[in-house]
């Protein structure tokens, strides 16, 4: 768990640099979790700008990447 109760001014953000081996900003296909969108932030001229730098993966894309098209391979004697 990367959070606890903290009261912050509206508009402030907390960004953990790393949350362990299977953290969401660098997922691996073996855990079958969809990748989350990643946003970059830039502080400039007293303001904050953000941009999407990786599009979130849909659940369907995660299922396909995890091998959905081969789901029955081990139960049918390797027949498609």
Which pLDDT tens digit goes with each residue over 2-55?
556 777 777 777 776 655 555 555 556 667 778 878 788 888 888 888 888 888
pTM: 0.51
Q: Which helix (H) or strand (E) holds 48?
A: strand 47-54
Whether the predicted pLDDT of 75 surpasses 70 = yes
Q: Which helix (H) or strand (E) holds 61?
A: helix 59-65
């Amino acid at each position: 768990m990367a959070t606890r109760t903290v009261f912050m001014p509206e508009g402030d953000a907390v960004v953990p640099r790393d949350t362990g081996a299977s953290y969401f900003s660098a997922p691996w296909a073996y855990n079958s979790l969809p990748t989350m969108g990643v946003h970059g932030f830039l502080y400039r001229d007293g303001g904050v700008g953000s941009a999407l730098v990786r599009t979130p993966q849909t659940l369907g894309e995660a299922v396909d990447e995890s091998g959905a098209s081969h789901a029955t391979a081990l139960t049918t004697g390797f027949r498609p």
